[in-house]
Amino acid sequence: MARTNIRATRIKPQVSELLTLRVRRTERISPHFIRVTLGEGDIGRFTPMGYDQWFRLFIPAPGKPLPRLPDRLTMLSYAKYLTISKEDRPALRNYTVRAYRSAEQEIDVDFVVHEPKPGAAPGPAIAWAGACRAGDQVAILDEGVSFNPPADTEHVLLVADESALPAVAGILASLPDDTTGRALVEVPSAEDVQDLRVPSAVEVTWVVRGDPHAVPGRAVLAAAERIPPPDGPVFGWVAGEQALPTAMRRHWITSGLPKSASCSAATGGQSADDDDLRSCPAAPGPAADLRWSVLQVAWCAA
Protein backbone atom coordinates (compact mmCIF):
# COMPACT_ATOMS: atom_id res chain seq x y z
CA MET A 1 0.00 0.00 0.00
CA ALA A 2 1.16 3.53 -0.67
CA ARG A 3 0.34 6.95 0.51
CA THR A 4 -2.42 8.80 -1.33
CA ASN A 5 -1.16 12.29 -0.40
CA ILE A 6 -4.65 13.68 -0.89
CA ARG A 7 -6.39 15.38 1.96
CA ALA A 8 -10.12 15.39 2.43
CA THR A 9 -11.63 18.57 3.83
CA ARG A 10 -15.05 20.01 4.32
CA ILE A 11 -16.63 21.90 1.42
CA LYS A 12 -18.05 25.05 2.93
CA PRO A 13 -21.02 26.93 1.50
CA GLN A 14 -20.14 30.04 -0.48
CA VAL A 15 -22.31 32.22 1.70
CA SER A 16 -22.79 31.79 5.41
CA GLU A 17 -26.06 33.27 6.57
CA LEU A 18 -28.79 32.42 9.01
CA LEU A 19 -31.98 31.18 7.33
CA THR A 20 -35.29 31.29 9.16
CA LEU A 21 -37.67 28.53 8.08
CA ARG A 22 -41.03 27.15 9.13
CA VAL A 23 -42.23 23.62 9.72
CA ARG A 24 -44.45 22.48 6.86
CA ARG A 25 -45.33 19.04 8.19
CA THR A 26 -44.00 16.17 10.25
CA GLU A 27 -44.27 12.44 9.80
CA ARG A 28 -43.29 9.45 11.91
CA ILE A 29 -41.74 7.59 8.99
CA SER A 30 -40.72 4.54 11.05
CA PRO A 31 -40.43 3.53 14.72
CA HIS A 32 -37.14 5.42 15.24
CA PHE A 33 -37.35 8.30 12.74
CA ILE A 34 -39.38 11.50 12.67
CA ARG A 35 -39.24 13.44 9.39
CA VAL A 36 -39.70 17.20 9.72
CA THR A 37 -40.21 19.10 6.47
CA LEU A 38 -39.04 22.73 6.52
CA GLY A 39 -39.76 25.50 4.02
CA GLU A 40 -41.10 29.04 3.61
CA GLY A 41 -39.27 32.02 5.11
CA ASP A 42 -35.72 32.17 3.71
CA ILE A 43 -35.87 28.81 1.88
CA GLY A 44 -35.27 30.59 -1.46
CA ARG A 45 -31.76 31.43 -0.22
CA PHE A 46 -30.89 27.83 0.65
CA THR A 47 -28.25 26.37 -1.70
CA PRO A 48 -28.42 22.57 -1.96
CA MET A 49 -25.01 20.89 -2.17
CA GLY A 50 -26.04 17.23 -2.01
CA TYR A 51 -23.98 14.55 -0.29
CA ASP A 52 -23.98 14.86 3.52
CA GLN A 53 -24.80 18.57 3.60
CA TRP A 54 -25.44 19.51 7.20
CA PHE A 55 -26.41 22.56 9.17
CA ARG A 56 -26.67 24.04 12.64
CA LEU A 57 -30.27 23.98 13.78
CA PHE A 58 -31.48 26.61 16.23
CA ILE A 59 -34.66 25.52 18.01
CA PRO A 60 -36.51 28.25 19.93
CA ALA A 61 -36.75 27.81 23.69
CA PRO A 62 -40.26 26.60 24.61
CA GLY A 63 -42.75 29.49 24.25
CA LYS A 64 -40.04 31.97 23.17
CA PRO A 65 -39.32 33.60 19.81
CA LEU A 66 -35.95 33.15 18.14
CA PRO A 67 -33.55 35.84 19.41
CA ARG A 68 -30.96 37.55 17.23
CA LEU A 69 -28.52 34.85 16.10
CA PRO A 70 -25.17 34.84 14.27
CA ASP A 71 -24.66 34.38 10.50
CA ARG A 72 -21.65 32.20 11.18
CA LEU A 73 -20.65 30.06 14.14
CA THR A 74 -17.20 30.99 15.38
CA MET A 75 -15.71 30.73 18.85
CA LEU A 76 -16.70 34.34 19.36
CA SER A 77 -20.28 34.11 18.08
CA TYR A 78 -20.75 30.89 20.03
CA ALA A 79 -19.56 32.62 23.19
CA LYS A 80 -22.07 35.39 22.46
CA TYR A 81 -24.83 32.85 21.91
CA LEU A 82 -24.03 31.45 25.37
CA THR A 83 -24.67 34.87 26.90
CA ILE A 84 -28.37 34.62 25.94
CA SER A 85 -30.30 33.81 29.11
CA LYS A 86 -31.10 30.14 29.59
CA GLU A 87 -34.84 30.79 29.34
CA ASP A 88 -34.46 32.53 25.95
CA ARG A 89 -31.54 30.62 24.48
CA PRO A 90 -32.52 28.40 21.54
CA ALA A 91 -31.16 24.85 21.53
CA LEU A 92 -28.36 24.37 19.03
CA ARG A 93 -27.85 20.99 17.37
CA ASN A 94 -26.39 19.60 14.14
CA TYR A 95 -28.55 17.94 11.48
CA THR A 96 -28.29 16.71 7.88
CA VAL A 97 -30.32 17.60 4.81
CA ARG A 98 -32.10 14.29 4.15
CA ALA A 99 -33.66 15.62 0.95
CA TYR A 100 -34.17 18.93 -0.83
CA ARG A 101 -36.97 19.40 -3.37
CA SER A 102 -36.50 22.48 -5.50
CA ALA A 103 -40.00 22.38 -7.02
CA GLU A 104 -41.61 22.41 -3.58
CA GLN A 105 -38.89 24.58 -2.03
CA GLU A 106 -38.56 22.35 1.00
CA ILE A 107 -36.06 20.32 3.02
CA ASP A 108 -36.60 17.05 4.86
CA VAL A 109 -34.75 16.48 8.12
CA ASP A 110 -34.82 13.01 9.69
CA PHE A 111 -34.56 12.99 13.49
CA VAL A 112 -33.57 9.74 15.17
CA VAL A 113 -35.73 8.83 18.15
CA HIS A 114 -33.05 7.47 20.49
CA GLU A 115 -33.88 4.91 23.15
CA PRO A 116 -34.03 7.05 26.32
CA LYS A 117 -31.51 6.32 29.05
CA PRO A 118 -33.34 5.23 32.23
CA GLY A 119 -34.64 8.33 34.01
CA ALA A 120 -33.30 10.71 31.34
CA ALA A 121 -35.49 13.22 29.51
CA PRO A 122 -35.27 13.32 25.71
CA GLY A 123 -32.91 15.95 24.30
CA PRO A 124 -34.36 19.27 23.08
CA ALA A 125 -34.03 18.41 19.38
CA ILE A 126 -35.92 15.15 19.46
CA ALA A 127 -38.46 16.58 21.91
CA TRP A 128 -39.05 19.46 19.47
CA ALA A 129 -39.29 17.16 16.44
CA GLY A 130 -41.94 15.10 18.20
CA ALA A 131 -44.03 18.11 19.24
CA CYS A 132 -43.60 20.75 16.50
CA ARG A 133 -46.52 21.87 14.38
CA ALA A 134 -46.88 23.39 10.90
CA GLY A 135 -45.87 27.05 11.06
CA ASP A 136 -43.35 26.67 13.90
CA GLN A 137 -40.15 28.59 13.29
CA VAL A 138 -36.50 27.44 13.39
CA ALA A 139 -33.27 28.85 12.04
CA ILE A 140 -30.50 27.03 10.22
CA LEU A 141 -26.88 27.80 9.41
CA ASP A 142 -25.65 25.83 6.42
CA GLU A 143 -22.27 24.21 7.10
CA GLY A 144 -21.71 22.53 3.73
CA VAL A 145 -20.52 19.02 2.93
CA SER A 146 -18.11 16.82 4.88
CA PHE A 147 -17.90 13.97 2.35
CA ASN A 148 -15.05 15.04 0.13
CA PRO A 149 -13.16 12.20 -1.55
CA PRO A 150 -10.25 12.60 -3.96
CA ALA A 151 -11.50 13.50 -7.44
CA ASP A 152 -10.61 10.11 -8.94
CA THR A 153 -12.41 8.05 -6.29
CA GLU A 154 -14.28 5.11 -7.79
CA HIS A 155 -14.68 2.83 -4.79
CA VAL A 156 -16.24 3.84 -1.49
CA LEU A 157 -16.77 2.19 1.85
CA LEU A 158 -19.44 3.90 3.98
CA VAL A 159 -20.15 2.86 7.57
CA ALA A 160 -22.84 4.54 9.65
CA ASP A 161 -25.14 4.24 12.60
CA GLU A 162 -28.74 5.47 12.37
CA SER A 163 -27.96 9.12 13.11
CA ALA A 164 -25.73 9.12 10.03
CA LEU A 165 -28.33 7.39 7.85
CA PRO A 166 -29.53 10.76 6.45
CA ALA A 167 -25.91 11.50 5.50
CA VAL A 168 -25.42 8.09 3.85
CA ALA A 169 -28.70 8.55 1.96
CA GLY A 170 -27.53 11.93 0.66
CA ILE A 171 -24.08 10.62 -0.28
CA LEU A 172 -25.44 7.61 -2.16
CA ALA A 173 -27.97 9.77 -4.02
CA SER A 174 -25.20 12.21 -5.05
CA LEU A 175 -22.43 9.78 -6.07
CA PRO A 176 -21.72 9.27 -9.79
CA ASP A 177 -23.63 6.29 -11.24
CA ASP A 178 -20.43 4.34 -11.96
CA THR A 179 -19.24 4.40 -8.33
CA THR A 180 -18.57 0.98 -6.83
CA GLY A 181 -18.38 0.02 -3.18
CA ARG A 182 -20.32 -0.82 -0.08
CA ALA A 183 -22.45 0.97 2.46
CA LEU A 184 -23.19 -0.56 5.85
CA VAL A 185 -25.88 1.12 7.92
CA GLU A 186 -27.07 0.15 11.38
CA VAL A 187 -30.72 0.79 12.27
CA PRO A 188 -32.54 0.03 15.53
CA SER A 189 -35.26 -2.11 13.92
CA ALA A 190 -36.12 -3.75 10.59
CA GLU A 191 -38.96 -1.22 10.12
CA ASP A 192 -36.37 1.60 10.06
CA VAL A 193 -34.78 0.32 6.84
CA GLN A 194 -35.29 2.95 4.12
CA ASP A 195 -35.57 2.92 0.36
CA LEU A 196 -32.43 4.63 -0.91
CA ARG A 197 -31.32 5.83 -4.32
CA VAL A 198 -28.03 3.93 -4.80
CA PRO A 199 -25.50 3.63 -7.67
CA SER A 200 -26.06 0.15 -9.15
CA ALA A 201 -22.58 -1.15 -8.21
CA VAL A 202 -22.76 -0.05 -4.57
CA GLU A 203 -24.03 -2.77 -2.26
CA VAL A 204 -26.03 -1.61 0.76
CA THR A 205 -26.07 -3.81 3.87
CA TRP A 206 -28.59 -3.02 6.58
CA VAL A 207 -27.53 -4.13 10.04
CA VAL A 208 -30.55 -4.38 12.31
CA ARG A 209 -29.60 -3.89 15.96
CA GLY A 210 -32.75 -5.38 17.39
CA ASP A 211 -31.73 -5.24 21.05
CA PRO A 212 -32.90 -1.85 22.43
CA HIS A 213 -30.20 -2.01 25.12
CA ALA A 214 -27.30 -2.60 22.73
CA VAL A 215 -24.87 0.28 22.14
CA PRO A 216 -25.58 1.95 18.76
CA GLY A 217 -22.79 1.36 16.24
CA ARG A 218 -21.41 -1.88 17.71
CA ALA A 219 -23.28 -4.13 15.29
CA VAL A 220 -22.30 -2.21 12.17
CA LEU A 221 -18.70 -2.07 13.39
CA ALA A 222 -18.64 -5.86 13.72
CA ALA A 223 -20.10 -6.18 10.21
CA ALA A 224 -17.56 -3.72 8.77
CA GLU A 225 -14.69 -5.54 10.47
CA ARG A 226 -15.66 -8.72 8.63
CA ILE A 227 -15.13 -7.05 5.24
CA PRO A 228 -11.73 -8.05 3.81
CA PRO A 229 -9.39 -5.05 3.37
CA PRO A 230 -9.87 -3.69 -0.17
CA ASP A 231 -6.80 -4.08 -2.38
CA GLY A 232 -7.37 -1.03 -4.58
CA PRO A 233 -7.93 2.68 -4.02
CA VAL A 234 -10.74 3.24 -1.59
CA PHE A 235 -12.37 6.16 0.12
CA GLY A 236 -13.56 5.16 3.57
CA TRP A 237 -16.14 7.27 5.38
CA VAL A 238 -17.51 6.42 8.79
CA ALA A 239 -19.93 8.52 10.83
CA GLY A 240 -22.03 8.33 13.93
CA GLU A 241 -21.57 8.17 17.67
CA GLN A 242 -17.89 8.83 18.25
CA ALA A 243 -17.07 5.30 19.43
CA LEU A 244 -17.86 3.99 15.95
CA PRO A 245 -15.39 6.13 13.93
CA THR A 246 -12.78 5.63 16.66
CA ALA A 247 -13.12 1.83 16.61
CA MET A 248 -13.25 1.75 12.80
CA ARG A 249 -10.02 3.71 12.63
CA ARG A 250 -8.40 1.26 15.05
CA HIS A 251 -9.54 -1.64 12.89
CA TRP A 252 -8.30 -0.06 9.67
CA ILE A 253 -4.90 0.54 11.27
CA THR A 254 -4.56 -3.01 12.60
CA SER A 255 -5.69 -4.47 9.29
CA GLY A 256 -2.80 -2.86 7.44
CA LEU A 257 -3.93 0.57 6.35
CA PRO A 258 -0.80 2.63 5.66
CA LYS A 259 0.26 4.92 8.45
CA SER A 260 0.25 7.72 5.94
CA ALA A 261 -3.23 7.23 4.51
CA SER A 262 -4.79 10.63 4.01
CA CYS A 263 -7.23 11.29 6.78
CA SER A 264 -9.74 13.85 7.93
CA ALA A 265 -11.78 13.75 11.08
CA ALA A 266 -14.51 15.92 12.51
CA THR A 267 -16.30 16.07 15.80
CA GLY A 268 -19.61 17.81 15.90
CA GLY A 269 -18.86 19.12 12.44
CA GLN A 270 -15.53 20.76 13.31
CA SER A 271 -12.92 19.28 11.04
CA ALA A 272 -9.22 18.62 11.15
CA ASP A 273 -6.88 17.02 8.66
CA ASP A 274 -3.86 14.88 9.13
CA ASP A 275 -1.58 12.86 6.93
CA ASP A 276 -1.22 10.24 9.59
CA LEU A 277 -4.19 8.07 10.37
CA ARG A 278 -2.77 7.14 13.75
CA SER A 279 -2.68 10.68 14.98
CA CYS A 280 -5.58 12.12 13.01
CA PRO A 281 -7.33 14.17 15.66
CA ALA A 282 -10.95 14.55 16.44
CA ALA A 283 -11.34 18.31 16.54
CA PRO A 284 -13.63 19.91 19.07
CA GLY A 285 -14.95 23.36 18.28
CA PRO A 286 -17.81 25.70 18.99
CA ALA A 287 -21.02 23.92 19.81
CA ALA A 288 -19.22 20.64 19.40
CA ASP A 289 -21.48 17.66 19.71
CA LEU A 290 -18.71 15.60 21.20
CA ARG A 291 -20.53 12.34 20.90
CA TRP A 292 -20.80 12.43 17.12
CA SER A 293 -18.01 12.37 14.58
CA VAL A 294 -17.04 11.66 11.00
CA LEU A 295 -13.81 10.04 9.87
CA GLN A 296 -12.74 9.98 6.21
CA VAL A 297 -9.76 8.06 4.95
CA ALA A 298 -8.40 7.78 1.42
CA TRP A 299 -5.98 4.99 0.69
CA CYS A 300 -4.66 3.02 -2.22
CA ALA A 301 -2.84 -0.24 -2.80
CA ALA A 302 0.91 -0.36 -3.34
Nearer to ligand FAD, 259 or 291 (CB): 291
Exposure string over 256-272, b if 16+ CB within 10 A, otherwise e:
ebbebbbbbbbbbbbbb
Site for ligand FAD in 25-54 (CB under 6 A): 54
User: Nearest to ligand FAD by Cβ — which residue?
Assistant: 123
Which listed range, 81-89, 99-107, 119-127, 226-234, lies at the site for ligand FAD (CB under 6 A)? 119-127
67 CB burial (10 A radius; 0-12, 13-18, 19+)? middle
The alpha-carbon radius of gyration of the chain (Å, integer) is: 19
Nearer to ligand FAD, 4 or 53 (CB): 53
CB 152 within 8 A of CB 6: no
- Of the residues 4, 26, 53, 94, which one makes contact with ligand FAD according to CB under 6 A: 94
Nearer to ligand FAD, 237 or 299 (CB): 237
- Of the residues 67, 123, 229, 285, which one makes contact with ligand FAD according to CB under 6 A: 123
Q: How far is the CB of 302 from ligand FAD (least distance, A)?
A: 33
Which listed range, 87-95, 189-197, 227-235, 251-259, lies at the site for ligand FAD (CB under 6 A)? 87-95
Site for ligand FAD in 144-163 (CB under 6 A): 163
Residue 199, interface with ligand FAD (CB under 6 A)? no
A 10 A CB-CB count for 63 gives 6
User: What's the one-letter identity of residue 287?
Assistant: A
Residue 258, interface with ligand FAD (CB under 6 A)? no
For 218, the enclosing helix (H) or strand (E) is helix 218-225
Q: How far is the CB of 109 from ligand FAD (least distance, A)?
A: 6
Interhelix angle 243-254/218-225, rounded to 10 degrees, is: 20
Distance CA 143, CA 165 (A): 18
C-alpha pair distances (Å), 197 with each of 39, 40, 143: 23, 26, 23
Q: How far is the CB of 102 from ligand FAD (least distance, A)?
A: 20
Distance CA 68, CA 178 (A): 45
Residue 114, interface with ligand FAD (CB under 6 A)? yes
Kindly list the residues in this chain that would bind ligand FAD in the complex (CB under 6 A).
54, 93-96, 110-112, 114, 117, 120, 123-126, 163, 166, 216, 241, 268-269, 289, 292
